[in-house]
Amino acid sequence: MSSSKHSDIEMEILLLGKWRFNTSSEKITIEFRDDMTYVQTRIQTLLFSKPKELITGTKFTGMWYVSHQILYLNVKSMPNSFLNIKAPLHIELSLADIVATVSSVFMPEDYEVRRINKSQFLLKDKKESIIGTKISH
């Protein structure tokens, strides 16, 4: 994987598709779609992180884009969260989705894209570097 000298648009094109990567506490799969939406699955690998997974769920959806070599993920929904309540009268209260959307406006997930090619990318968040691998269909 060579150093990335790609424009933001080129990075967005290279990111399209399904990727898998692991952090020190999670196994993550993200599918970046060409309509600038994404679907993400996060599985907590540390026992003390499991309560977080119970609250938020494992699936996230939202909008994504690249600007100045930074990948931004804006969460719009957490469909598996237990905070999304469905009442017996078919009333749905998507409390988790409301919280996710509002917090994403003020604090989107962002990652510096260090290197990228058609099969691997290297991202850096605030704590660690993350290597992603493209999943072939």
Chain centroid offset of residue 39 CA: 7
What is the reported pLDDT for 90?
65
Predicted TM-score of the model (pTM): 0.81
Specify the CATH number for the domain of residue 45.
2.40.128.640
Task: With cut-offs at 50, 70 and 90, classify the pLDDT of residue 2.
Answer: very low
Range of the domain at 96: 8-132
Which whole number is the average pLDDT over 107-121? Answer: 89
Q: Let me know if residue 1 belongs to a domain.
A: no
Q: Let me know if residue 61 belongs to a domain.
A: yes
Q: Let me know if residue 36 belongs to a domain.
A: yes
Q: Share the mean pLDDT of the chain.
A: 83
Host H or E run for residue 50: helix 50-56
Is 53 within 8 Å of 75 (Cβ atoms)? no
